[in-house]
Structure 1
Amino acid sequence: MERWQGKVAMVTGASSGIGAACAKALVCAGFVVVGLARRQERITQLQQEIPTRFRSNLHAFKCDITQEDKVREAFKWTLDRLGSGVDVLVNNAGIIATTELSANQNTDEIRSTIETNLLGTIFCTREAFNSMRERNVEGHVVIINSVAGLQVPNLGPDLPSLNVYPATKFALRAMNEIYRQEFQRHRTRVRITTISPGIVDTDILPTSIRTVVKEMLPSLKSEDVADAVLWAIGTPPNVQVHNITIKPMGEKF
C-alpha cells in the first residue's frame, strides 16, 4: 500500500454500512478520503471512530449521486479543496426496492433503485476515470456489487422480493467488463474491480426485514467487504483483479 500513501480516494454512500467501513479502512491505510452521502453529518460523526492522527484526512461532502451536476460538483470540490484529483473510487452507494417487481404503484422505488445503483455509478466512474486519464496516473475503480449480480437468489416466501435490485447488479457486472475494455483501449493505468459480497449486515434493508434476515441467514460484516477492497487495490499494478466474491460461512445461495 506504500504507493497509495497520501493519494485521494472517494467513497460513495459513505455515511453507513459498507461505505463507512471502506472510508475508515482507506483513511487508516494512508489515503485522504472524500466521503459522499446525502447524510453528510454521519460522515462527520464517523471521524470520531477513527484514530486521532487520521481524522483530518476524512472529508465529508453532501451529494446525491443520481444528480449528475452534484457529482461533478463533488469532484470539482475535491480538486479545489485537496489540490488533487481522485486516484481511487469506491462505488458503494446502492439501495433495494422491497416491493414486488410486479406490484402496482412501485414505479418510484424502481426508478430510485436504477438511478442510484446504475446511473450514480456511471456518473462517478466517468468523472473519476477522466481525471485519472488526464493526469496519466495509476488509478483504481471499485464497484461494490453483490452475489445477486451473479445469480438471483430465491429467498423464499418468508422474505421480501428483491425487485429490480438483482437486475441492476447483473448490469454492474457487465459494466465492469465494459470499463475494463475501455480503460485498456485508452492505454491507461486504471484498473477496475467488482466486489460481490453475500448478505451483509447493513441498514440497506428496513429494520423489520433486516431483523428477519439476520435470524434466518448468515451474514458478513461491512469490515469484511472493506478488507476485500484494500486487498484488491493493494495488488501490484500489473494485476487486474476482475471480481472478488465473498460469502459468509453457511450461505446457501
Structure 2
Amino acid sequence: MVLSMKRWVGHIAVVTGASSGIGAGIAKKLVEEGMIVVGLARRKERIDELANNLGEKKKQFYSLKCDISHEQDILDAFEWITKKIGPLYVLVNSAGCFRNDSLTDGKTENMKQVVDTNLIGLTICCREAIRIMKENNIAGHIININSILGQHIPRDVINVSMYCPTKFAVRAVTETLRLELIHQDSPIKTTNICPGATETEISLKALKVGGYAHLFPENKMLLPEDVADAVTYALSTPPQVQIKELTLKPLTEKF
C-alpha cells in the first residue's frame, strides 16, 4: 500500500474545534500537507492566532466563527465555504464538549449542551459535507475525532455527564454513515479515530475536576500532533483502502 497525501493538495478541508488542542493540531498539519483549511470554532480570535503562526502558509488557512451546537451556524458556515472558497474534500470533526456533572442528578442543560455539540452538531456537519461532496462528485473523506471513552468506560470514570454516551454514539454514527455510503455506491470514506488521553483543554480540565490522574498521567499523554498524524495516515490511503477505525493510546494508559 502506497501512502500519499498528493491527491488532497490544493483541496479544501474543514476542521471543527480548530481553536485549540487536537483540532488546532490537525488544522496545522493539513496546511503543512498542502491543503486549504477552514478552521471552525466558537473562539474566532483563537483560530486567528493559529493562522498568524502559520507564517507563509497563512494564505492556505481561513478562520470562521461557528458554534457547532447551533444548526444555523453550521449551515451558514458550509454555505460560506462553498460560495467563497469552493467545495470541501475533507471534513474533520474535532469539536467537543465536556461537563463535570452526573447523569443521576445532573443538570438537563449540561446534558443537552454535550449532546448538541458532540453528537448532533457533528452529525449535521457530516450530512452537509456529504451533500456537498455528492453535488460536486468528490470522493471525499469524513473523519470523526472520537475518544477511547467511546469504546470503553473505566469503572473510575464518573461525573462526565453525557460525554461517554455521546462518544459511543459517534462511533455508531460513523459506522452508520459508512454503511449508508456503501449502499449508495459512494466513494466517500469515513474514519473513526479514538485517541486515549491527549493534552487538550478538555483532558486537563477533566484531570483537575475529576481526580483521574491515576488513569491519565498528565506528563505522559498523547500530543495533539500524534492525533494529527493519525488523520493524515487515514487520508494517505489509496482510494480502495478505508481505515474504518483507528485507536491511539499513550504507552502508560492504565485501562
TM-score grouping bracket, smaller chain normalisation? over 0.9
Contact 2:207 2:216 in 1 (8 A): no
* Change in CA separation of 1:207 and 1:81 when aligned onto 2, cut-off 3 Å: same
**Equivalent in the alignment of 1:22:** 26
Structure 1 length-normalised TM:
0.93
* Change in CA separation of 1:230 and 1:208 when aligned onto 2, cut-off 3 Å: closer
* Moved beyond 3 Å, runs of 4+: 205-216
**Equivalent in the alignment of 1:110:** 111
* Change in CA separation of 1:247 and 1:12 when aligned onto 2, cut-off 3 Å: same
- The yes-or-no answer on 1:169 pairing with 2:172 is no
**Structure 2: segments with no counterpart, 5+ residues:** none
Q: CA deviation at 1:215?
A: 7.2
Per-residue displacement from partner, 1:197-240 (whole Å, max 9, x unpaired)? Answer: 00111101564844865576231111111110011011111101
Q: Which amino acid aligns with 1:217?
A: F
* Change in CA separation of 1:165 and 1:142 when aligned onto 2, cut-off 3 Å: same
Q: 1:76 aligns with which of 72, 76, 79?
A: 79
Counterparts of residues 26-105 of structure 1 (less than 5 Å): 26-50=30-54, 52-82=55-85, 84-104=86-106
Secondary structure of the residue aligned to 1:240 is coil
Contact 1:12 1:37 in 2 (8 A): yes
**Equivalent in the alignment of 1:123:** 124
**Equivalent in the alignment of 1:202:** 200
Q: Which amino acid aligns with 1:175?
A: V
Contact 1:18 1:226 in 2 (8 A): yes
Instruction: Report how many aligned residue pairs link the two structures.
Output: 247
Contact 2:193 2:246 in 1 (8 A): yes
Secondary structure of the residue aligned to 1:112 is helix
Q: Which amino acid aligns with 1:64?
A: D
**Structure 1: segments with no counterpart, 5+ residues:** none
Per-residue displacement from partner, 1:7-29 (whole Å, max 9, x unpaired)? Answer: 00000010000000010001110
Q: Provide the rounded CA distance (Å) in 2 between the counterparts of 1:200 and 1:187.
A: 36
* Change in CA separation of 1:22 and 1:214 when aligned onto 2, cut-off 3 Å: farther
**Equivalent in the alignment of 1:234:** 236
**Equivalent in the alignment of 2:224:** 222
Secondary structure of the residue aligned to 1:56 is helix
Secondary structure of the residue aligned to 1:229 is helix
* Change in CA separation of 1:210 and 1:23 when aligned onto 2, cut-off 3 Å: farther
Q: Provide the rounded CA distance (Å) in 2 between the counterparts of 1:205 and 1:220.
A: 11
Q: Provide the rounded CA distance (Å) in 2 between the counterparts of 1:204 and 1:61.
A: 21
Higher relative contact order (CA 8 A, sep 6+): 2
**Aligned-pair Cα RMSD in Å:** 1.7
Identity over aligned residues, as a percent?
A: 41
Q: CA deviation at 1:189?
A: 1.3
Q: Provide the rounded CA distance (Å) in 2 between the counterparts of 1:32 and 1:214.
A: 38
Per-residue displacement from partner, 1:134-170 (whole Å, max 9, x unpaired)? Answer: 11111000000111111112236xxx52222111111
